């Protein structure tokens, strides 16, 4: 089989997969682990099997993949389908390059720079620099590294004894801050968790108390890490008030807007991030709410020099960087060496729909989340377990079961829901309660999708209460 004919065949199969995902009711393979292991040929052969056989392999991969563009997929904080972005992925693979220098990635460098500039403008960040990273987790780590650099300018050069350095984050923040605390050298125990209010937002008075306590203990605070859009409840920390405290104590302020950053497009919801312009850095995942295929994530910092120092290679990368005058090489602002062109897919999608398209997408997502919230509220078998600020809708099935049985009931319900295969949502915990967290981040979700989802949840809940086996 010839390469061109092969690619046509692949495209036809991918197209069919994407189209059928919009109507197919079963969004995940029904095979369990052992059965999938047994029935799939995964061996790497001694002799090649040829392109024809690769088509069979692709068929098998598509058949056993979760249909993450399907409306019923409301599980993680990403999903959905942007065909222009998928086209961008294809072109990225075909033009395979690394983002370190303009020389080797000329148009891609300009595209990434223009995206970073626009994202910074949306946050009123003025002069800034940034980089696309491997995800919000790494964006948060970069934020902490920049904060460390700002506090101890010699740390990137002479090393760092993090014993006394402490950073502050809300108790509902993403776990990537814990990992980053380990990586940057302060350790988990020096990441101080600040209490939240009943809506899951960082309590500013508690933040100040914790900062003062750490000072009394002889520790050195260096960063406040706020969140715009928490993982479970979708809460937004009060950035303006947090910034006032961070500035008072001369601390770096980083904002994890991996999930919530898209509110900056919407005149209606932008105020959720009121005060973002007062932060020093933030990250924003386009692969979450904006429906761009993983990975596409930005880290933006006001002071370019700090990021450049954090990512400095000294003079060791003489085979890449030369003093040619114009400072356009993006590799100087990244912790990676080889780095994909993740910008292209976002750029194509952005040019397709514009700021206005992102804004109306977000407004529609919020409308759908309002709808889902109302349906949950008005269904006596269900209980909303958290107030809602974003498109996360956290609820549980209560039926007629006593309180002490509800955790087990919801854990079992979620298992059955996944095996049922029509919908996928996350199992999370709010205030010790096991709950279902559904998120709206897919333009193909409609009110009908949400009605069918809740009907399924209630039916499964009733089956469990009646002691009926799975159908």
Under the binding rule (CB under 6 A), the answer on residue 391 touching ligand PLP is no
DSSP 203: P
d(CA 304, CA 314): 17
Q: Token match 């598509």: residue?
A: 62
Minimal CA–CA distance to 419: which of 61, 65, 29?
A: 29
Question: In this structure, are residues 62 and 17 in contact, taking their beta carbons and an 8 Å threshold?
Answer: yes
From residue 261 to residue 300, the character string flagging contacts with ligand PLP as x (rule: CB under 6 A) and all else as - is ------------------------x-----------x---
Least distance CB 414 / ligand PLP (angstroms): 18
* Interactions with ligand PLP, residue window 345-364 (CB under 6 A): none
Least distance CB 234 / ligand PLP (angstroms): 9
Least distance CB 283 / ligand PLP (angstroms): 7
Q: Is 172 helix (H, G, I), strand (E, B) or coil?
A: coil
d(CA 443, CA 291): 8
Our CA dihedral for 44, 47, 48, 50, rounded to 10 degrees, sits at: -130
Within 8 A by CB and 6+ apart from 421, the residues are 25, 26, 27, 28, 30
Q: Which segment (50-58, 104-112, 149-157, 255-263) binds ligand PLP by CB under 6 A?
A: 255-263
Under the binding rule (CB under 6 A), the answer on residue 259 touching ligand PLP is yes
Give whichever of 109 and 231 is closer to ligand PLP, judged by the CB atom: 231
Least distance CB 142 / ligand PLP (angstroms): 12
Token output for 62 = 């598509």
Indicate which single residue of 137, 281, 334, 442 sits in contact with ligand PLP (rule: CB under 6 A). Answer: 137
From residue 369 to residue 388, the character string flagging contacts with ligand PLP as x (rule: CB under 6 A) and all else as - is --------------------
Indicate which single residue of 27, 70, 74, 77 sits in contact with ligand PLP (rule: CB under 6 A). Answer: 77
The 281-285 sheet, strands edge to edge: 129-133, 297-301, 281-285, 252-256, 220-227, 165-170, 191-194
Q: Which segment (49-57, 254-262, 337-345, 360-368) binds ligand PLP by CB under 6 A?
A: 254-262
Least distance CB 136 / ligand PLP (angstroms): 3
Least distance CB 175 / ligand PLP (angstroms): 8
Give whichever of 69 and 137 is closer to ligand PLP, judged by the CB atom: 137
Indicate which single residue of 28, 67, 174, 437 sits in contact with ligand PLP (rule: CB under 6 A). Answer: 174
DSSP states along 82-147: -HHHHHHHHHHHHT---TT-TTTSHHHHHHHHHHHHHHHHHTT--S-EEEEES-HHHHHHHHHHHH
Indicate which single residue of 82, 131, 227, 235 sits in contact with ligand PLP (rule: CB under 6 A). Answer: 227
Q: Which segment (8-16, 224-232, 235-243, 383-391) binds ligand PLP by CB under 6 A?
A: 224-232
d(CA 43, CA 55): 16
Give whichever of 133 and 214 is closer to ligand PLP, judged by the CB atom: 133
Minimal CA–CA distance to 417: which of 70, 62, 26?
A: 26
Give whichever of 68 and 375 is closer to ligand PLP, judged by the CB atom: 68
Within 8 A by CB and 6+ apart from 318, the residues are none
**Count of positions on this chain that bind ligand PLP (CB under 6 A):** 15
Question: Is beta strand 129-133 parallel, antiparallel or unpaired with respect to 424-430?
Answer: unpaired
Enumerate binding residues for ligand PLP (CB under 6 A).
77, 135-137, 174, 176, 227, 229-231, 256, 258-259, 285, 297
């Amino acid at each position: 089989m010839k390469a061109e004919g092969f690619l046509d065949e692949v495209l036809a199969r991918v197209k069919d997969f994407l189209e059928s995902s919009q109507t197919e009711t079963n969004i995940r393979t029904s095979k369990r682990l052992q059965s999938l292991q047994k029935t799939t040929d995964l061996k790497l052969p001694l002799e090649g099997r040829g392109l024809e056989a690769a088509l069979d392999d692709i068929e098998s991969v598509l058949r056993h993949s979760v249909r993450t563009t399907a409306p019923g997929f409301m599980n993680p904080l990403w999903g959905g389908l942007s065909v222009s972005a998928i086209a961008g992925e294809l072109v990225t693979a075909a033009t395979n390059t690394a983002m370190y220098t303009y020389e080797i990635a000329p148009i891609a460098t300009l595209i990434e720079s223009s995206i970073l500039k626009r994202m910074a403008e949306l946050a009123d960040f003025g002069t800034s620099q940034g980089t696309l990273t491997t995800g919000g987790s790494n964006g948060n780590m970069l934020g902490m590294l920049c904060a460390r650099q700002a506090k101890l300018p010699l740390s990137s050069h002479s090393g760092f004894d993090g014993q006394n350095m402490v950073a502050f984050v809300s108790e509902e923040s993403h776990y990537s801050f814990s990992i980053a605390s380990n990586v940057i050298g302060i350790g988990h125990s020096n990441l101080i968790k600040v209490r939240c209010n009943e809506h899951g937002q960082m309590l500013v008075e508690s933040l100040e108390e914790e900062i003062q306590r750490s000072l009394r203990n002889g520790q050195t605070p260096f960063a406040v890490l706020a969140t715009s859009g928490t993982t479970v409840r979708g809460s937004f920390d009060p950035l303006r008030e947090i910034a006032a405290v961070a500035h008072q104590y001369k601390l770096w302020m980083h904002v994890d807007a991996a999930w919530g950053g898209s509110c900056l497009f919407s005149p209606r919801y932008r105020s959720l991030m009121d005060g973002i312009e007062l932060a020093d850095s933030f990250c924003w995942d386009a692969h979450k709410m904006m429906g761009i295929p993983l990975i596409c994530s930005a880290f933006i910092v006001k002071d370019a020099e700090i990021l450049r120092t954090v990512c400095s290679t000294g003079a060791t990368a003489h085979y890449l960087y030369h003093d040619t005058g114009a400072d356009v090489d993006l590799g100087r602002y990244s912790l990676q060496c080889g780095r994909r062109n993740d910008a292209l897919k976002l750029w194509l999608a952005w040019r397709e729909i514009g700021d206005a398209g992102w804004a109306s997408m977000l407004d529609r997502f919020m409308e759908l989340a309002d709808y889902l919230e109302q349906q949950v509220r008005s269904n006596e078998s269900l209980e909303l377990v958290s107030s809602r600020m974003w498109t996360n809708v956290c609820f549980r099935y209560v039926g007629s079961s006593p309180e002490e049985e509800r955790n087990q009931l919801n854990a079992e319900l979620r298992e059955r829901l996944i095996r049922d295969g029509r919908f996928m949502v996350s199992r999370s915990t709010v205030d010790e309660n096991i709950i279902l967290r559904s998120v709206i981040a897919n333009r193909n979700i409609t009110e009908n999708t949400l009605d069918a989802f809740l009907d399924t949840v209630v039916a499964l809940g009733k089956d469990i209460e009646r002691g009926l086996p799975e159908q």
